[in-house]
Amino acid sequence: YILSGSLIFNWEGKFLRKIGTTGKGPCEDPNSYLKVKYYNGNFYSQGNKFIEYDSLGMCTGNEWQFFTHKKGEPLGSGFYFTDFEPISNKFAIYRYPDSIYWMNDKFIMTGEGARVIRSGEYQKKCGSHFNPPKYFERYKDQALFYNYYNDTIYRVETDKILPKYILQFQKLKLPELFFEYSGSGWMEKAYQAWESGASFKRLKYFRMSDGKQFITHYFESENFLFLIHRDVHFFATLRGVTPQPPHIAFYNKYTGTVISVKGTGFVDDILGFKSFIPLCGEFEEKLIMPVLPIDILRFYEKKKQNGEIVNNKLMNLVKQIKEDDNQVLFVAYLKKDWKNISNIH
């Protein structure tokens, strides 16, 4: 399936069903925005509740109301999590900002959980105000988890997490002090500085974070680990700083080399459509980029106005879409003979 929020589509893009019902009764969720995942024949939604549905989207009656004590839950009431990932008839659940726990298929917590930060390592754990679209990713039958505290991608098992890749930003890494300082009201201080006309340069938080790098997306294929990262510049517009587009780098698992892609993404040499940035990640050796139809139409009109040659495939695509259609998925198939790749421009 293709999942977009709580909407379910097949691989051809045909709408199939919507998961979840808004409400306060059984099998209903007060939160209208649901994070939905599919696993082992069932759908699961996370909002203010955690609810199980069958393959047709009907609630099975198995649900967990957050902030309500559930028998067998070692953490007591008030427990809430940020993301989840099904794994071997269990669920790995991420509690922001630094902990992973597990629960079984009856939604009962098991074990004591794991922390990516050792107890006492940081005085404050209020996060860094970086919230990537997805914390968990999948590679084949593996569940992966990335945490920005230590720039490590973990392999998630049924009762523990094991480091798989350690990212080394060196001088471009956010300093450890950044994470402690992020909980001390820096945003309020920034607004106060802006309203009073004071210089942002005086703020310690900006000085330590400007120009550093942060991972927004990561995903793994047979031959590569792909990373999409951005420059850090808080309040960029207010400070007169032009926000920079994302960058792509990838690690060759066979040669051990890291390649940084020049410019703002891969070159689309098939349709000639801007840069290819696979924000939807990897699926079965395919990279996927979502594009709004209106962006495609504007790109097409601009090329026509400039008298540029328009690719026939792009022209055919323009004839099939309307500006208020759902997003179009651009799919790039990875070659199978890339093990010996050494250089990409």
Residue 133 neighbours by CB distance under 10 Å: 9
Highest-scoring range by mean pLDDT, 114-118, 261-265, 294-298: 294-298
For the cut 80, the answer to whether the pLDDT of residue 192 exceeds it is no
With 0-12 / 13-18 / 19 or more C-beta atoms within 10 angstroms meaning exposed / middle / buried, residue 306 is: exposed
Report the DSSP beta bridge partners of residue 153: 146, 165
Measured at the CA of 146, the angle between CA 77 and CA 232, to 5 degrees, comes to 110
Q: What is the β-pairing status of strands 15-18 and 7-9? A: antiparallel
Which of 82-96, 189-203, 294-308 bottoms out in mean pLDDT, i.e. has the lowest?
189-203
- Residue pair 215/135 in contact (Cβ under 8 Å)? The answer is no
Read off the pLDDT of residues 257-268 as tens digits, 9 standing for 90 and up: 898 888 778 888
Read off the pLDDT of residues 24-56 as tens digits, 9 standing for 90 and up: 899 999 888 888 999 989 999 998 889 999 999
Mean pLDDT calculated for residue range 209-215? 86
For the cut 80, the answer to whether the pLDDT of residue 100 exceeds it is yes
| Tokens 């792009």 sit on residue | 314
* CA nearest neighbour of 159 among 95, 97, 113, 106: 113
Mapped onto helix, strand or coil, the DSSP state of residue 90 is strand
| Edge-first strand listing for the sheet containing 161-166 | 136-139, 142-147, 152-156, 161-166
Looking at every residue in the chain, the average pLDDT score rounds to 82
Non-local (6+) Cβ contacts of 13 within 8 A are 2, 326, 329
Residue 302 neighbours by CB distance under 10 Å: 10
Please state the pTM of the whole predicted model: 0.82
- Tell me the C-alpha to C-alpha distance, in Å, between residue 147 and each of 96, 138, 249: 10, 15, 18
pLDDT, position 305: 92
Instruction: Kindly state the percentage of the chain with pLDDT values over 70.
Output: 83
Amino acid at site 212:
K
Report the DSSP beta bridge partners of residue 42: 39
- Residue pair 70/79 in contact (Cβ under 8 Å)? The answer is no
pLDDT, position 339: 55
Residue 161 neighbours by CB distance under 10 Å: 20
What's the rounded Cα separation, in Å, for the pair 11 and 23? Answer: 30
Mean pLDDT calculated for residue range 219-224? 93
Q: Which residue has the higher pLDDT, 131 or 250?
A: 250
DSSP labels, 200-216: GGG-HHHHHHTT-EEEE
DSSP labels, 157-174: -SS-EEEEEE---GGGSP
- Residue pair 239/245 in contact (Cβ under 8 Å)? The answer is no
